């Protein structure tokens, strides 16, 4: 009995020391990554150390302002064919009205870049996928245009391209027969820039959109999320969205 | 003697057959010049022979790395191929033309490529020029439909 106790204590000490050692190891790369910031070298793969997210303050979102939508359309060369039901739409303004009080507010709705994306779950080919850094994308090389993901998405965030396209933006390839949605401007993010919608909102001095790394405690988005209460749309689905809202 | 005559005749036929092919212009594709060389000793990002044979492997490999891992090196990037191999002049040939760099060879080799159903067939600088207000033709044209700007966000 006493011998067994001795072994147990020895094991506990050993395991305790091992845990301390591994915590130290984990801390060191963590510090490294914070120092490096987001300026990822072009030849390095993205990692799960970062999780990109967006905080949208609907109180600051001006009614009638459409700058984020326009910036997105310009950035990705999205043009319509005068068919609002099927025209590509990566971000849209939604108006909410409290029927009792008549109070109205607007907010932009886009791909919520879920941690557990339903679009990825249902994709039969693996075209819908989540990058290590949390950005949900469609690999159009693999997409067969079945549109299961469009049906699975609770946010109606995805569009299907019905037309033959030409002169796409070189950094935003788009083609007939594939599904697409907000990419968090992945080409900009990989270049250490912010998405076009955020840039447009900030340029207009509305500052309703904050983009950043939700895993970095010193980032503006992390600090604002910590300081103020925020909501996920359809939080009941437990998708852990990357887009959070304030004031709804 | 007859045998010798036959040989002469055959040689004559062969020459006769060969002459029109060379006189009527080569059947080989006319490949447009690139905008720049990688270095004085090397034209393309890999030796030209290698590129002619294996370019598809390079861009296929790069494609997966870029889309899934965010690796955006320029050496084997399709966007950079187009930036260098296609002129940004307003009347630069599109991929549907045999004068387009990619299509010049692919027409000759009878290999249809579908890269440009999604990817831009002209350089970044062309796209930037076109996206400027009043920058000429629309960025998006289909054979039978004129595009209209996306109307403001759909409200619900």
pLDDT classification of B79: cutoffs 50, 70, 90: very high
| Residue B140 forms contact with A (CB below 8 Å) | yes
Asked whether residue B121 is assigned to any structural domain, the reply reads: yes
CB atoms within 10 A of CB A237: 15
Of A177-181, A220-224, A244-248, B87-91, give the lowest mean pLDDT range.
B87-91
State the DSSP string of A144-189.
----HHHHH-TT---EE--S---S-BTTB---TT-EE----SHHHH
Of B72, B82, B120, the CB nearest to A42: B72
Rounded CA gap, A63 and B127, in Å? 32
Residue with tokens 């022979």: B49
Helix (H, G, I), strand (E, B) or coil at A128: strand
N- to C-terminal Cα separation, chain B? 96
Cβ separation A139–B82 shorter than 8 A: no
pLDDT classification of A205: cutoffs 50, 70, 90: very high
Judge whether A176 and A163 are in contact, CB under 8 Å: yes
Asked whether residue B58 is assigned to any structural domain, the reply reads: yes
Number of domains chain B contains: 1
Q: What is the pLDDT of residues B47-66, one digit of tens each?
A: 999 999 999 999 999 999 99
Q: Which domain holds residue B108?
A: 27-130
Judge whether A15 and A171 are in contact, CB under 8 Å: no
- Residues in A touching B128 (Cβ below 8 Å): none
Helix (H, G, I), strand (E, B) or coil at A57: strand
CA dihedral B60, B61, B64, B69 (to 10 degrees): -150
Q: H helices within chain A, ranges in order?
A: 2-36, 67-76, 118-122, 148-152, 186-189, 196-203, 220-227
Identify the pLDDT of residue A8.
Answer: 55
Asked whether residue B46 is assigned to any structural domain, the reply reads: yes
For chains A and B, CB pairs below 8 A equal 132
Identify the pLDDT of residue B128.
Answer: 79
Mean pLDDT of chain B: 77
Q: What is the pTM of this model?
A: 0.77
Instruction: Reply yes or no on whether the pLDDT at B136 is more than 80.
Output: no
| Residue B80 forms contact with A (CB below 8 Å) | no
Instruction: Reply yes or no on whether the pLDDT at A165 is more than 70.
Output: yes
Asked whether residue B94 is assigned to any structural domain, the reply reads: yes
ipTM of the predicted structure? Answer: 0.79
pLDDT classification of B17: cutoffs 50, 70, 90: very low
Cβ within 8 Å of residue B79, ≥6 positions away: A170, A171, B119, B120, B124
Residue A41 tokens read as 């070298």
Helix (H, G, I), strand (E, B) or coil at B108: helix
Beta strands in B20-86 (DSSP E): none
- Residues in B touching A170 (Cβ below 8 Å): 79, 82-83, 119-120, 123-124, 127
What is the number of residues in chain A?
248
Of B70, B79, B130, the CB nearest to A171: B79
Q: How far is the CA of A98 from the CAs of A46, A108, A231, B55, in angstroms?
A: 42, 17, 17, 58
Identify the pLDDT of residue A7.
Answer: 52
Instruction: Reply yes or no on whether the pLDDT at B145 is more than 50.
Output: no
Mean pLDDT of chain A: 88
Of A148-157, B55-64, B121-130, give the lowest mean pLDDT range.
B121-130
From the list B95, B127, B99, the residue with the least C-alpha distance to B112 is B95
Average pLDDT over residues B64-74: 95
Judge whether B145 and B151 are in contact, CB under 8 Å: no
Identify the pLDDT of residue A96.
Answer: 93
Rounded CA gap, A86 and B145, in Å? 15
Asked whether residue B147 is assigned to any structural domain, the reply reads: no
Residue A76 tokens read as 């990705």
pLDDT classification of A112: cutoffs 50, 70, 90: very high
Cβ within 8 Å of residue B113, ≥6 positions away: B95, B102, B103, B106
Closest chain A residue to the Cα of B79, Cα to Cα: A170
Asked whether residue B60 is assigned to any structural domain, the reply reads: yes
Instruction: Reply yes or no on whether the pLDDT at B22 is more than 90.
Output: no
Rounded CA gap, B102 and B81, in Å? 10
| Longest Cα–Cα distance in chain A | 83
Asked whether residue B148 is assigned to any structural domain, the reply reads: no
Identify the pLDDT of residue A29.
Answer: 46
Asked whether residue B4 is assigned to any structural domain, the reply reads: no
Q: What is the pLDDT of residues A52-107, one digit of tens each?
A: 999 999 999 999 999 999 999 999 999 889 998 999 999 999 999 999 999 999 99
Mutate to test the interface with A, among B120, B125, B126, B130 (most CBs of A within 10 A): B120
Of A43, A77, A187, the CB nearest to B73: A43
Judge whether A141 and B113 are in contact, CB under 8 Å: no
């Amino acid at each position: 009995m006493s011998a067994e106790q001795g072994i147990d204590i020895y094991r506990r000490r050993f395991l305790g020391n091992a845990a301390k050692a591994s915590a130290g190891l984990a801390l060191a790369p963590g510090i490294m990554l914070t120092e490096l910031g987001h300026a990822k070298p072009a030849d390095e793969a993205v990692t799960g150390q970062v999780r990109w997210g967006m905080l949208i303050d609907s109180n600051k979102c001006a009614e009638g302002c459409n700058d984020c939508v326009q910036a997105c359309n310009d950035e990705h060369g999205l043009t319509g064919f005068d068919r609002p039901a099927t025209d590509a739409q990566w971000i849209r303004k939604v108006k909410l009205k409290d029927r009792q009080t008549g109070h109205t507010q607007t907010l932009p709705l886009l791909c919520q870049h879920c941690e557990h994306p339903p679009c990825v779950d249902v994709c039969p080919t693996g075209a819908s996928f989540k990058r290590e850094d949390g950005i949900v994308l469609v690999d159009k090389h693999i997409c067969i245009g079945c549109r299961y993901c469009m049906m699975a998405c609770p946010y109606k965030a995805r569009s299907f391209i019905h037309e033959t396209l030409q002169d796409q933006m070189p950094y935003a390839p788009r083609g007939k027969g594939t599904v697409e949605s907000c990419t968090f401007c992945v080409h900009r993010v990989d270049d250490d820039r912010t998405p076009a919608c955020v840039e447009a909102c900030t340029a207009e001095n509305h500052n309703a959109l904050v983009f950043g790394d939700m895993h970095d405690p010193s980032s503006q988005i992390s600090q604002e999320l910590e300081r103020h209460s925020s909501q996920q749309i359809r939080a009941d689905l437990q998708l852990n969205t990357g887009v959070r809202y304030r004031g709804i | 003697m007859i045998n010798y005559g036959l040989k002469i005749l055959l040689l004559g036929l062969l020459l006769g057959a060969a002459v029109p092919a060379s006189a009527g212009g080569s059947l080989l594709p006319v490949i447009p010049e690139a905008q720049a060389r990688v270095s004085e000793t090397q034209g393309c990002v890999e030796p030209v022979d290698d590129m002619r044979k294996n370019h598809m492997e390079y861009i296929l490999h790069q494609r997966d790395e870029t889309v899934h891992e965010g690796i955006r090196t320029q050496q084997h990037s399709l966007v950079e191929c187009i930036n260098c191999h296609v002129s940004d002049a307003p009347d630069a040939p599109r991929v549907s033309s045999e004068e387009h760099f990619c299509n010049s060879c692919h027409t000759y080799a009878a290999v249809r490529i579908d890269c440009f159903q999604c990817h831009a067939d002209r350089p970044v600088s062309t796209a930037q020029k076109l996206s400027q207000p009043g920058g000429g033709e629309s960025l998006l044209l289909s054979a039978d439909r004129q595009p209209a700007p996306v109307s403001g966000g759909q409200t619900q």
